[in-house]
Amino acid sequence: MNILAFESSCDETAVAVVRDGRQALSDAILSQADMHAIYGGVVPEIASRRHVEAIAALTDKALADAGVGKQDIDAVAVTYGPGLIGALLVGVNFAKSAAYALGKPLIPVHHLRGHIAANYIAFPDLEPPFLALCISGGNSMLVDVRGYTDMSIMGCTRDDAAGECFDKIARALGLPYPGGRPMQELAEGGDDAKYPLPRAKIAGCALDMSFSGLKTAAVNLVHNAQQKGEELDRSSLAASVAAAVSEELVPRAIAAAKQCGYRTLAAAGGVAANKRIRADLERACGENGIRLYLPPLPLCGDNGAMIGCQGYYEYLAGVRADMSLNAYANLEI
């Protein structure tokens, strides 16, 4: 079964063809990051316009790369939330038109379910149940993946996402957007204990997280140093931030897996590309006898293949949308 899949929730326009859920025949992605970089973050209106401009040509490319024609498509899948509403609407409306024109079923896909599903493409042996650590620019959560379409949140950030934390500290340091990767490069060789940054203490759910205090503390450090004309050890600050973010995420991911009784943990989302977090996860999972799945870097960020993959399992579960499908900025997993 070939699924034509669309992703446009933020600043990547992506179209893929996925066969039988696990095989990405193509994955055409156009990142707008350069366009938003001069503003230091994603400008929603620009994102929507760029999606409109790119989506038709990317669809042709995805079909050509896959070596299939429109007649070989069996269903259409699309991200319908959460994300930037204007950006999502472009993908949803294009997918609706495609499904209508081809006379094929339309499958709505949750963006974070898609991120989790990226692991199914990379690891053919991976099957639920497992614990997923979903860490991206807009979300940070621990998900109990009981089945391909049966999941619930064990804990999540109470404020900013981990990616937002990296991006905003990077901006204060004058690094380009998106800041996660440049922060990682800056952290090389830095002393991760030099700057004592705050660790959140959360009342209530022990698996919930917080990143806004850490973000503010690091940004204030940078601004204070600038105002006083003091030299900052930028590399050690970046390393200290990565250590603090990782400490917020990794012990909670292990605790959540244990709470669910799982011996399998999968990471997902753009921040799952982070070297420090990957290394800490590897060590912690090794110490706790947990099997770890870390998606290859191209599958960590937004892509269309992950939506086609999850779309397949939603299709098997009987999920369908009609032409009234809407997009949602916020959406329960």
Report, in Å, the least distance between residue 136 CB and ligand KG4: 3
Report, in Å, the least distance between residue 139 CB and ligand KG4: 7
**How far apart are the C-alpha atoms of 31 and 17, rounded to whole Å?**
18
Report, in Å, the least distance between residue 127 CB and ligand KG4: 23
Residue closest to 115 by CA, chosen among 136, 95, 96, 131:
136
Binding residues for ligand KG4 (CB under 6 A): 10, 136-138, 163, 166-167, 178-181, 184, 269-271, 273-274, 301-302
Classify the C-alpha dihedral 138-277-118-67 as positive or negative.
Answer: positive
Q: Which is nearer to ligand KG4, 252 or 278 (CB)?
A: 278
Distances 288 to 202, 208, 223, 282 between C-alpha atoms, Å: 24, 21, 40, 10
**How far apart are the C-alpha atoms of 87 and 94, rounded to whole Å?**
11
Report, in Å, the least distance between residue 295 CB and ligand KG4: 11
Report, in Å, the least distance between residue 88 CB and ligand KG4: 12
Q: Which is nearer to ligand KG4, 167 or 208 (CB)?
A: 167
Q: Which is nearer to ligand KG4, 29 or 321 (CB)?
A: 29
Residue closest to 81 by CA, chosen among 139, 141, 4:
139
Strand partners, 203: none
Q: Which is nearer to ligand KG4, 138 or 311 (CB)?
A: 138
Report, in Å, the least distance between residue 279 CB and ligand KG4: 12
Report, in Å, the least distance between residue 71 CB and ligand KG4: 32
Q: Which is nearer to ligand KG4, 37 or 56 (CB)?
A: 37
**Separate counts of helices (H) and strands (E) for the chain:** 11, 10
User: What order of strands is seen across the sheet that includes strand 150-156?
Assistant: 150-156, 140-147, 130-135, 264-268, 291-293
296: Cβ contacts below 8 Å, ≥ 6 apart? 122
**How far apart are the C-alpha atoms of 146 and 130, rounded to whole Å?**
7
Q: Which is nearer to ligand KG4, 184 or 236 (CB)?
A: 184
Which one-letter amino acid corresponds to residue 120? Y
Q: Which is nearer to ligand KG4, 88 or 321 (CB)?
A: 88
Report, in Å, the least distance between residue 242 CB and ligand KG4: 8
**How far apart are the C-alpha atoms of 115 and 119, rounded to whole Å?**
8
Classify the C-alpha dihedral 191-193-196-199 as positive or negative.
Answer: positive
Q: Which is nearer to ligand KG4, 36 or 96 (CB)?
A: 36
